[in-house]
Every structure is written in C-alpha cells, then in structure tokens.
Structure 1
Amino acid sequence: MVLAMSIQQQSFLRDTMRRLNLTREAFSSRIGVSRRALDTWLLPAESQEFRRMPEIVERFVSEILASAAHTSTQSVYSTSDLSITHEGKPCLLSVDQFSRGSAEALFRLADVMQPIARRQKISRVLEGAVLGNLFFEASTRTRVSFGAAFCRLGGSVCDTTGFTFSSMAKGESIYDTSRVLSGYVDALVVRHPDQGSVAEFARATNIPVLNAGDGPGEHPSQALLDLYTIQREFSRLGKIVDGAHIAIVGDLKYGRTVHSLSKLLALYSGIKFTLIAPAELEMPAHIIERIAVNGNVVEQTSDLVNGLRGADVVYATRIQKERFANETIEGYTPEFQINQALVNSVCGPDTLIMHPLPRDSRPGANDLGTDLLHDPRLAIFRQTDNGIPVRMALFASLLGVADQVPHSLRDASWKAPRFIGPDDALFHGMDG
C-alpha cells in the first residue's frame, strides 16, 4: 500500500518505532537510511524540508513489522487492541485500565487525530452527539480541552461548573444526577472533589463516563497526555521511555496527576524515579509499591538540586492547598522552585521540563518559574496542546467511531497559524 498523506506517513513511522522500541537513531540504522532522511519523513507536509518516504522503504518497514515476534501486522489505524472499559462498560476511571499495549494503541489513534487538533483537517464522526461536562471543582484547561476535543469531532457540549449550579446542592444523589443527565447526553466527563465519586457516576449509567479528576485520586486523561508528550519529545530527542530518569517534584501526596502518571510509567522497565518533596508531601506508600516493578528504581529525597541531576524528565507540580486539612508545610519554601538558574546548573540540554498546570506564576511562588518561558526544554504548552488529540482518541474509542476517523477527514477551510504561541520553541509544531 502507498500511504496517502503525510500524517499517515508520520503515524506509520512513529508507530513502528514505538512497537520496535527504537530511537530514531537506532531505527534509521535498522532500515539503512540516514537519520537526516528519517527526520524529513517525520516532518509535517507544510514544512519546506518534508520529504515523501520512498515506497520501497515503506515496504521494507512493513516487512520488519510483520516479522517482529512481539508486534502485529495490523494497520497503524487499527483499534482492535484498544478497549477502554470498566466492569464491562465503556468508561475511563483509572489508568489501571491500561496495559502498555493498550496505552500505545491509544497513542496511535491520537497520532491520527493530530491534523484535526492542529486545525488542518476536519472530521464530523460525532455529529449529533452531545457531551455533558460536569465539573464540581474549578477547572479551565481540562474542561475546555475535553469540550474542544468533542467539538472537533463534530459533537456539541453542555457545561456545568460548581455545586452551586447543580441540583446536588439541593441534596440530589450522584446516582440520580447521573441517571437523569444520561437521558440528555451521550457521554459524561466528571470532575469531583471526592475520591471514588466518578465511579459512582459510572455505576448509575451505561453511557461513557470519563474521570476528569476525583479529589486526590486520579486524573487518567492527564497522565495519558503526559506519557504521550514524553514519547513524542523522546522521539525527537532520540530517547525511549524504558530506562529513562524521571524526576517528579512538588506535592506528591495529594497530586492526582503524579499518582496516575507514575502508575502509567511503571508499565515500562528500568525507569529511575526520583521523587522530590518535603517529608509531609511524599508520595503515598501504595503508589511507591505499585511503581517499584519491572526493574524500576524509586528514590525519595527533599534535596531539589541533587534530585534533578541527570534527569531526562522533570515533572513539577503545584501544592494542592485545597486538599489540606489543618496541615502545615515544613520545608516547602520559595527556594523549592524550578527556575532558569537551577535548570541551567543541574539539567542537561535535552532535559524535558513538564507541569500539568495551572502553575502559580506569582512572584516568590514555590512552583515552576516563569523565567523558563523562552527555554525550549519547557514543554508545558506542547503538553497542553497534546491533550486535544489524546482526548479525541478517548472519545472516538469510547463512542465506537475510531475506525471511521481516517476515512472522514477533509481539509479545514480556514488557515491556522504555524506556531500557536508567539513564544513557542522553534521545533514546536515542526515535529509532526
């Protein structure tokens, strides 16, 4: 077969490298081409340096995939190994629902969604479907990201935010709320301050329910987009997830994003986890027990400077003050901040700086410093951009339209900017 358009070429090559667990350098050597040639095949079509992969190379890569014992011969677009269910229902409640294979199947589907997320293509596979966005806690990016992802597939969104505007303020149960709204919408995204509450919403309905954060519990879609970002960035940098050094910094006790991400990363092997937090905010023991598998090593420290040394990824989080109950925070001072001076002194040129956002940008805040804004190692906006294709992939899978997406694409009629933000790094948007 001949790949019809550049996004298919990019998806095909990215998927092959993921399945074979090869860096770009190793993959280019395996197929007998220069690293420079491979890089041009992975660029978006609008790049002046983009090149079409020769058909003979495509056939060779397909033969390598077919002969690899640990891979399948199915199409890059196949979703047969992607099933997101909980107790037999199409729901996303926890990252525990994913294996390494199913997570990477979701990422293959997210690759297909990239031209839609980048405003290059349009798909209407969810036309007529309605999403209920139920956020009982404040949210900006997660709520809008879920809504935008649904709309970009042709659906529409109904939003509600806060208990004040909910019938639950009148004493209505979660069961009643979920059952009633299920008669109005085709999928529910729920954020709730109480751990386990989203699972209660799911038990009351047969429509898809997605967990957008349940108190200090989990935030599975955030963890999935974080891992997807790490994989895409590592592909550009010539790294793989296995064997990486991941430093996680901040409120590890209440930070649901790091709980979910750590469990997903534990699906890989040989990872060094450096968990950096004051003693009062250390990662819960049950999470540490979960991630200390597959040859992974877990280190805990409150020493920010030494903890960051040699890290491939620095994942910072803000303090979750809304989760505290008469607790004090010793040792979490403005000096406990990841800023330009610290990154320059202890991090390498290819270190990836991430944050789930929002970050506290006020002067003196013990969070991710705003002076890193122009540093290309800062990936926080590439991270948020990746939330759209990942959440589109979740919706497409849960609503059973994933296989229709590649055949539904048509060109967008408007022109999107090449770089969304004026301060985006030079490679932002150039890597496919």
Structure 2
Amino acid sequence: MSLIGKHILSSDLFDRDQLEELFELADVLAPVARGRQVTRVLEGAVMASLFFEASTRTRLSCETAFLRLGGGVTSSTGAEIMSISKGESLADTSRVVTGYCDLVVMRHPEVSAVHEFAAATNIPVVNCGNGAGEHPTQALLDMFTLHREFARIGLPMDGRRIALVGDLRHGRTVHSLIKLLSRYEGLTIVCVAPDSLGMPVELMELAENRGHRVEQSDQPRTGLKGADVIYTTRLQTERFADKPVPYSDDFRIDKALFSEVGGPDTVIMHPLPRDGRPGSNDLATDLNGDPRLAVFRQTDAGIPMRMALFASVLGVADAVADSLRPATWYRPEYTGPEDAPFYKNAR
C-alpha cells in the first residue's frame, strides 16, 4: 500500500515491507540529515507543526527533517497560545490550517484529538504523540535504529529477545513499538514493569496472535537477563490522574544492573527524555560512554527516518536519489566525544 496522502496516526498502518522500504530511503537520506548532502524535493511545500504539549526532540526533529527536504515550516506550540484557548474546536482549527500548509505534524495530550483533527482535513496528518495512545514516528526511528544495530553485529531482527521496561501502561512509545516489532518473526517480547504499570493486555495479545512469545515480569534482574535489546522508559507522571506509583530501585537501569543482565552486544535504548533527578530510577547517566548505549544513535536516526516518511507521504520518495548534491558548508566528523568508535567511523 502506498503512503502517499495517508494520515500517519498509528503504527497499525505499516507492514514489514513498508518498514524496510522506509529504512532503505532513510539510509539514502542519512547524508542529508547530517548536512553532507542537499536535496530540494519538497521545495515550496509547507508543514504546520502543532504541538499542544511540550516537546523538544520530536518537534525539532520533524521541523529539521522537513527543512532538510527543502520545505518550509510554520509552527505553533502550547494550547494556551492557540485559538483553542478561546473556545475554537479542533475541527475548526483543522479546517483553517488545511488552507495554510501541505502536511501537519501534531502532538496533543488527549488520545482522540489527533483523530478528530485528521477527520476534518484532507491533507496528511502525522501523529507525534496523542496522550498515552501512540507515537508512531518514534516507533519508526526506534525500528530504524534496531535495523542498524543488528546489521552492525551481523544478527537478523527475527528471533531476537526484546525487553520493554518501565511505565508500559502510559508509555505511548512502547505502544507503537510493540506493534511494529510484531511485524517481524519469532520474537520474545518481555514486558518488565510493576503490576500497575504493565503493558495493555490488548497489545500483548496482538503480539501473541502474530506468533510471538510474550512474557511479563515485575523483576528487572530476572526479566532483563539474556535480552538482545533493553528498551526502557521513564515514569509518565503527567499521565497519572492520581498519586503516581513509584518505581522501586530495581527499575534503575545503571552500570551495576547492566553488568549483571547485559551481554557484550546487548543494545540499550530509551526514547528520551530520561529523568536524571534523584530517586527517578530511570536510565542512569553512568552508562554514558558505553558503546552499547544507543540513545543518541536513536535521536540521530530521527531526522532521516522522518525525512523518509514525509517524502513518502508527499509522494516524492522516488525523486530523492536523483536530487542529491554535495553540501558546501563545514561539518565535523562526529558529534561528541562519548560516541562509540564504530559510530564515529560510520559518520
């Protein structure tokens, strides 16, 4: 199925063939994302960036991706500065914005809002986070990261053991990710969370119905052992209607725990932001510099992956390869002193 003109509201939209086509295009666009090549395939196109909820990586990554493709961006952030604060409906806002741009990326704290917005417009709408629902573009870049990580160490994606750990009830990134993981074959997906923060049952059943083994554990020291990938998330305190259920110290993914459960090629991922405050029990900073920590390879993957998605949705994917030309400005060889040696060399 072609993605041209489609709303990207859920990871349900993608099958394995589409994922791999997007990965191939993202690989072609990686030099553009890094500022080493230039393309203008979306010259004249305009993207509206509507973020009713706070965002750093997703908003900047989406806007940068569209700009790198040669398009323009108009943006509005924070519900308090939009006309919705004056009582305007989402449908009215959607109909107005349709006349201003060619594609909308949107984040909203309510699960149904992006669907309501998309129903009122005839231009593509890309869901960049709808409450505790989904985050399909994050899942795409996570899968692109996994595609690269396993290719680097010479392992297939099929048959791997993937541990999802943290607030799996409210974490929209893992909701979208488990749907994409289930498009592969023979996985063991281990959901590691306190009982009250477990993965929604319907998502575990979806993975099981597609032939995967799904395990549950509330003990990270046992649930994470033998994992090829540890994907951890922070406590989504903004999603709690009442007092949050705290993590125990066992849910702190740090050097001490990883030395017990990790293998030489175990990949550690996190959608960020990670909560670095005392007592947060999130992904610890003492793993910075460990080459198995892929969180910044994830963030770097966001721009080429979103470029590939936007080019596909707006129907210019086939024009990308012939449009590339060298950039003329200075770019460093790598981004930071703690990047893994193999990653520095790849850049």
Q: TM-score, normalised by structure 1?
A: 0.79
Aligned residue-pair number: 347
Question: 1:168 is matched by which residue type in structure 2?
Answer: I
Distance 1:196 1:104 in 2: 29
CA offset at residue 136 of structure 1?
0.3
1:409 equivalent to 2:328? Answer no
Distance 1:271 1:98 in 2: 18
1:103 equivalent to 2:19? Answer yes
1:281 equivalent to 2:197? Answer yes
1:368 equivalent to 2:278? Answer no
1:84 equivalent to 2:23? Answer no
Distance 1:153 1:93 in 2: 22
Could you say which residue in structure 1 is the equivalent of 2:239?
A: 323
Could you say which residue in structure 1 is the equivalent of 2:77?
A: 161
Distance 2:163 2:193 in 1: 11
CA offset at residue 422 of structure 1?
2.2
Residues 104 and 123, structure 2, Cα contact 8 Å, conserved in 1: yes
Could you say which residue in structure 1 is the equivalent of 2:229?
A: 313
Instruction: Give deviations 1:386-415, integer Å, cap 9, x for gaps.
Output: 000110011101111111111111100012
Alignment match of 1:399 (pick from 314, 331, 334): 314
Distance 2:344 2:320 in 1: 22
Distance 1:250 1:260 in 2: 15
Could you say which residue in structure 2 is the equivalent of 1:198?
A: 114
Could you say which residue in structure 2 is the equivalent of 1:386?
A: 301
Question: 1:379 is matched by which residue type in structure 2?
Answer: A
Question: 2:326 is matched by which residue type in structure 1?
Answer: D
Residues 164 and 174, structure 2, Cα contact 8 Å, conserved in 1: yes
Distance 1:329 1:151 in 2: 41
Question: 1:407 is matched by which residue type in structure 2?
Answer: D
CA offset at residue 426 of structure 1?
0.6
Residues 228 and 386, structure 1, Cα contact 8 Å, conserved in 2: yes
CA offset at residue 430 of structure 1?
2.9
Distance 1:185 1:134 in 2: 12
What does 1:220-369 correspond to in 2, within 5 Å? 220-329=136-245, 332-369=247-284
Residues 91 and 202, structure 1, Cα contact 8 Å, conserved in 2: yes
Distance 2:272 2:331 in 1: 24
Could you say which residue in structure 2 is the equivalent of 1:51?
A: none
CA RMSD of aligned residues (A): 1.2
CA offset at residue 333 of structure 1?
2.4
Alignment match of 1:115 (pick from 1, 21, 31): 31
CA offset at residue 295 of structure 1?
3.0
CA offset at residue 327 of structure 1?
4.1
Residues 352 and 377, structure 1, Cα contact 8 Å, conserved in 2: yes
Distance 1:365 1:213 in 2: 23
Distance 1:348 1:271 in 2: 18
Alignment match of 1:144 (pick from 45, 51, 60): 60
CA offset at residue 187 of structure 1?
0.9
CA offset at residue 84 of structure 1?
2.2
Alignment match of 2:126 (pick from 210, 221, 233): 210
| SS state at 1:430 partner | helix
| SS state at 1:116 partner | helix
CA offset at residue 429 of structure 1?
4.0
Which runs of structure 1 show a deviation greater than 6 angstroms over 4 or more consecutive aligned residues?
A: none
Question: 1:350 is matched by which residue type in structure 2?
Answer: D
Question: 1:430 is matched by which residue type in structure 2?
Answer: N
Distance 2:316 2:97 in 1: 22
CA offset at residue 137 of structure 1?
0.4
Residues 237 and 244, structure 2, Cα contact 8 Å, conserved in 1: no
Question: 1:277 is matched by which residue type in structure 2?
Answer: A
Residues 220 and 250, structure 2, Cα contact 8 Å, conserved in 1: no
Q: TM-score, normalised by structure 2?
A: 0.97
Question: 2:3 is matched by which residue type in structure 1?
Answer: I
Question: 1:317 is matched by which residue type in structure 2?
Answer: T
**In percent, how many aligned pairs have the same letter?**
56
Could you say which residue in structure 2 is the equivalent of 1:185?
A: 101
1:93 equivalent to 2:9? Answer yes
| SS state at 2:251 partner | coil
Instruction: Give deviations 1:226-285, integer Å, cap 9, x for gaps.
Output: 011001000001111110000010000000000100010001111011110001100011
Q: Which runs of 5+ in 2 are unaligned?
A: none
Residues 266 and 293, structure 1, Cα contact 8 Å, conserved in 2: no
